[in-house]
C-alpha cells in the first residue's frame, strides 16, 4: 500500500462525508463507520507525519492556544447594508437603482439575512488559507484557527479553482443546538448566553481552538469574489450557485426576482414563516443581480447603493418598568434609560431599554412602575413602544428630568431646537470615561485591552483624565493594579504604541467631535490631510466640503477652539501619534468649486476612488447632470447622463483626461 495514495483516498472520502453531513444534511454512513475512517487516517498520518497536509480533515483542530488575534487589512471594504422596515423605502431603493442605471430595469436576488457574525474567508488555488472577522469593515481579527474548527467550512474546494477566492459568510448557531448548549453550561454552573449571536461572537473570540471546536458553530456563505473572474457576465445568483458547487454551505432559500412586487412577495412569505427556520433571521437582503450593474451603482461611505436589508417586523413583549436611570454620553448627552423586569424577547433577555430623551418620555407618558410594551427594533435594539395604561397604579407620578447632571451635579442645558439635555462640563467624569472608551474603540484607535473596565480602573486610580493621557501610561503604573499582571500590562502598552500609527481618519473619528461619524472623518482626512490643517479650517471653508453642513462645521470649529482640546492635541503630537494622512500632499485645489458627475463603468479605478480623488482636490460629486455640472467623467457603456451632458454642452472627460487633469499643475 502506498501511504501517500491511501492518505489522499481517505481524506477525499472523509471530506465527501463531511459535505454530505454538515452541508447537505444527507449522511450516507453511520457515525461509527465515519469514526473508523477518521481513525484510519489518523493512524496513517501518525506513521507518516511528513505526508500530513494543511487541508487534511485531521487538521481542523490543531496547534497550541493563540496568544492573541492578529489584525488583518481586508482586500476590499466589507460594507454593511442600509436597513429598511417598510415597503415605501424598498420601492424608493428600486427607484434609485433605476436612476443609477439610467432608466434600465434590474433583476434582484433576495436572500435570508442571517443573525450571526460576519466573516471573510480566503482560498488560494482551492485551499483555505485564512479567515477574519468583518471588524470595522476595513480591518478585522485573524480567526483562521477558530474557523478551521467549523465542520461545514471546506478546507479544500470540491472543484479546482485557480487564483484567490474571497468568500463572505455568516457564522451562526442553530436554535436547537443553542438551547442544548446553554443547558450544558447551566448544568456545569456556567452563565448561559443571552442569544445565539452572542454565543457565536464569544466563541470566535476564544484563543483556544480546542474550545471553539466544542461549540456547535455552523457557516452559511452568501457572496464571493474570484480574482481571475471577469465581471461582465457575473451575477449574484451565479455566484450563489458556484458557492454550492464548490462545497460551501449556502442557503437554499434565495430567489431571483424580476420585479419589486416579486421582492415584496418573497419578504412577506418569510416574514410569516421565519419561526419555522432552524436558525435566526431578521429580514431579507435585496441585491442587484448583475455585478457589473453593482459596480456602476457604486457605494456610499458606509453601504452599497445596489443592496438593501429589508427587515422583518419587530417582535414584542410586555414587562414592568421598575425605575428610570440617566446615562451620560461622551458628548454630555443625558439619555434616560428604562430598567425593566427581565423578559425574554426573540430569544434574548432584555433588562434595559433607551427612552431617548425627555420628549419621548412625555410622548409615551411612561412612568416608573408602568407595564410597558417592549419591541426589538430589527430584532436587535430593545425599545418601549407603548404603555399599558389600564394596568397603571393610581399612585403613579409623571417622570421629571433632573436639572443637574447626576454624576458631577453641573446644571444641564438644552440647545435650541434639540430634544436632548446635555451636561456642559467637559471634565464630567462619566463624559471623560466615555470619550476614552470611544477613542480606544475598534472603529477609532483600536487599543487592544482598553475596554470599559480598564478605563474605569485607570480613571479611578487617577492615571487617565483625558484621551491625551493614554500615551503617558507607563508599565510601573499599570502592572501593580488590580486585574493587571506583567503580561496584560505589556499587552496594553503594546496596543497603545500601535495606536500611534492609525490612519488620520480614525484619529479624527476618535476625537469624538459631535456629529462627526466615520464617513465624515474620512472626508475630512481626504480634504485636509492633517490635523493641523483641519484645526485651522474656518466655518466657511468647512461648509464648502461636500456633505458637511453648518451644524457639523460649527461643531468642528467649536471643538478645536476649546483650550482643553488644544491641550489634548498637543499631547497627542508630543506622544508621536500620526496627525497627518499617509497620502499627505494629495489634497489640493485643482477641482475647487467644480462639480463632477460619474457615469459608465470605470476601468482604472473604482467610482469610490474617483470620488475620493475629486473630493481631495476640493471638488464635489453629484448624481445628476444639470447646467451647474462642471464635468462628466465617462467610463465604459455610459447611459443617459452622458447623452444629457452632450445635449447641455457639459465638458466630457475620459479616464485618461481626468488623470491628466489630476496630475497637471494647479490651475
365: region left, alpha or beta (phi > 0 left; psi from -120 to 50 alpha): left
Residue 140 three-state SS: strand
Q: Rounded to whole angstroms, what are the CA distances from 179 to 143, 175, 176, 276, 423?
A: 25, 6, 5, 16, 44
Residue-wise burial string across 184-205, b where 16 or more C-beta atoms lie within 10 A, e elsewhere: eeeeeeeebbebbbebbeebbe
In this structure, what DSSP letter does residue 259 have?
S
Q: Is 627 a catalytic residue?
A: no
> Residue 408, exposed/middle/buried by CB under 10 A (0-12, 13-18, 19+)?
middle
d(CA 255, CA 238) in angstroms, rounded, equals 12
Contact 285, 310 (CB under 8 A): yes
Residue 367 three-state SS: coil
d(CA 536, CA 539) in angstroms, rounded, equals 10
349: region left, alpha or beta (phi > 0 left; psi from -120 to 50 alpha): beta
d(CA 590, CA 659) in angstroms, rounded, equals 12
Question: Exactly one of 36, 113, 205, 256 is catalytic; which is it?
Answer: 113
CB atoms within 10 A of CB 255: 16
Residue 496 three-state SS: helix
**In degrees to the nearest 10, what's the CA dihedral of 265, 271, 274, 279?**
90
Nearest Cα to Cα of residue 446 among 521, 497, 516:
497
For residue 389, which phi and psi values (nearest 5 degrees)? -65, -25
Listing DSSP states for 58-126 in one string gives GGSS-SPPPS-PPEEE-SS--PPPPEE-SHHHHHHHHHHHHHHTTT----EEEEEEE-SEEEEEEEETT
Instruction: Give the residue numbers marked as catalytic.
Output: 113
Amino acid at each position: 500500500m502506498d501511504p501517500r495514495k491511501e492518505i489522499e483516498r481517505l481524506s477525499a472520502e472523509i471530506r465527501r462525508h463531511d459535505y454530505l453531513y454538515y452541508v447537505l444534511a444527507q449522511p450516507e454512513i453511520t457515525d461509527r463507520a465515519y469514526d473508523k475512517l477518521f481513525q484510519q487516517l489518523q493512524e496513517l498520518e501518525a506513521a507518516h507525519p511528513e505526508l500530513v497536509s494543511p487541508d487534511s480533515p485531521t487538521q481542523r483542530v490543531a496547534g497550541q492556544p493563540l496568544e492573541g488575534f492578529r489584525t488583518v487589512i481586508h482586500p476590499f471594504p466589507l460594507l454593511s447594508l442600509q436597513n429598511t422596515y417598510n415597503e415605501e423605502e424598498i420601492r424608493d431603493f428600486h427607484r434609485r437603482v433605476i436612476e443609477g442605471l439610467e432608466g434600465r430595469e434590474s433583476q434582484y436576488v433576495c436572500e435570508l439575512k442571517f443573525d450571526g457574525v460576519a466573516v471573510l474567508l480566503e482560498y488560494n488555488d482551492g485551499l483555505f488559507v485564512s479567515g477574519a472577522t468583518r471588524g470595522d469593515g476595513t480591518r478585522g481579527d485573524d480567526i483562521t484557527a477558530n474557523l478551521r474548527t467549523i465542520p461545514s467550512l471546506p478546507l479544500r474546494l470540491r472543484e479546482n479553482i485557480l487564483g484567490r477566492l474571497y468568500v463572505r459568510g455568516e457564522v451562526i448557531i442553530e436554535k436547537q443546538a443553542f438551547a442544548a448548549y446553554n443547558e450544558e453550561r447551566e448544568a456545569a454552573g456556567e452563565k448561559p448566553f443571552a442569544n445565539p449571536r452572542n454565543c457565536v461572537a464569544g466563541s470566535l473570540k476564544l484563543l483556544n481552538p480546542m474550545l471553539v471546536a466544542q461549540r456547535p458553530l455552523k457557516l452559511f456563505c452568501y457572496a464571493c469574489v474570484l480574482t481571475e473572474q471577469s465581471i461582465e457576465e457575473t451575477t449574484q445568483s451565479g455566484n450563489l450557485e458556484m458557492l454550492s458547487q464548490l462545497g460551501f454551505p449556502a442557503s437554499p432559500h434565495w430567489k431571483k426576482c424580476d420585479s419589486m412586487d416579486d421582492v415584496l412577495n418573497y419578504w412577506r412569505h418569510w416574514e410569516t414563516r421565519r419561526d419555522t427556520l432552524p436558525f435566526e433571521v431578521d429580514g431579507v437582503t435585496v441585491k442587484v443581480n448583475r455585478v457589473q450593474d453593482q459596480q456602476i451603482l457604486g457605494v456610499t461611505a458606509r453601504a452599497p447603493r445596489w443592496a438593501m436589508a429589508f427587515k422583518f417586523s419587530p417582535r414584542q413583549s410586555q414587562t414592568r418598568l421598575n425605575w428610570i436611570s440617566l446615562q451620560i454620553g461622551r458628548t454630555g448627552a443625558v439619555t434616560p434609560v428604562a430598567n425593566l423586569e427581565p423578559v425574554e424577547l426573540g430569544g434574548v433577555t432584555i433588562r434595559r431599554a433607551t427612552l431617548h430623551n425627555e420628549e419621548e418620555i412625555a410622548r409615551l407618558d411612561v412612568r416608573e412602575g408602568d407595564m410597558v410594551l417592549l419591541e426589538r427594533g430589527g430584532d436587535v435594539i430593545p425599545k418601549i413602544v407603548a404603555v399599558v395604561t389600564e394596568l397603571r397604579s393610581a399612585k403613579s407620578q409623571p417622570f421629571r428630568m433632573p436639572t443637574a447632571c447626576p454624576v458631577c451635579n453641573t446644571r444641564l442645558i438644552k440647545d435650541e431646537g434639540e430634544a436632548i439635555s446635555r451636561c456642559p462640563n467637559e471634565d464630567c467624569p462619566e463624559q471623560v470615561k466615555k470619550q476614552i472608551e470611544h477613542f480606544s474603540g475598534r472603529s477609532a484607535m483600536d487599543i487592544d485591552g482598553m475596554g470599559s473596565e480598564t478605563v474605569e480602573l485607570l480613571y479611578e486610580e487617577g492615571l487617565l483624565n483625558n484621551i491625551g493621557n493614554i500615551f503617558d501610561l507607563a508599565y510601573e503604573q499599570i502592572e501593580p493594579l488590580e486585574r493587571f499582571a506583567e503580561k496584560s500590562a505589556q499587552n496594553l502598552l503594546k496596543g497603545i504604541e500601535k495606536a500611534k500609527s492609525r490612519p488620520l481618519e480614525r484619529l479624527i473619528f476618535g476625537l469624538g467631535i459631535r456629529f462627526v461619524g466615520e464617513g465624515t472623518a474620512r472626508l475630512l482626512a481626504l480634504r485636509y490631510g492633517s490635523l493641523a490643517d483641519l484645526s485651522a479650517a474656518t466655518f466657511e471653508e468647512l461648509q464648502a466640503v461636500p456633505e458637511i453642513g453648518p451644524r457639523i462645521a460649527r461643531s468642528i470649529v467649536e471643538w478645536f477652539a476649546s483650550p482643553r482640546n488644544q491641550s489634548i492635541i498637543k499631547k497627542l503630537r508630543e506622544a508621536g501619534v500620526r496627525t497627518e494622512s499617509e497620502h499627505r500632499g494629495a489634497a489640493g485645489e485643482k477641482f475647487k468649486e467644480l462639480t463632477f458627475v460619474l457615469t459608465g463603468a470605470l476601468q482604472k479605478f473604482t467610482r469610490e476612488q474617483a470620488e475620493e480623488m475629486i473630493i481631495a482636490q476640493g471638488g464635489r460629486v453629484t448624481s445628476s447632470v444639470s447646467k451647474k455640472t462642471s464635468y462628466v467623467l465617462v467610463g465604459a457603456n455610459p447611459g443617459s447622463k452622458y447623452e444629457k451632458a452632450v445635449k447641455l454642452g457639459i465638458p466630457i472627460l475620459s479616464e485618461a483626461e481626468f488623470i491628466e487633469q489630476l496630475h497637471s499643475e494647479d490651475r
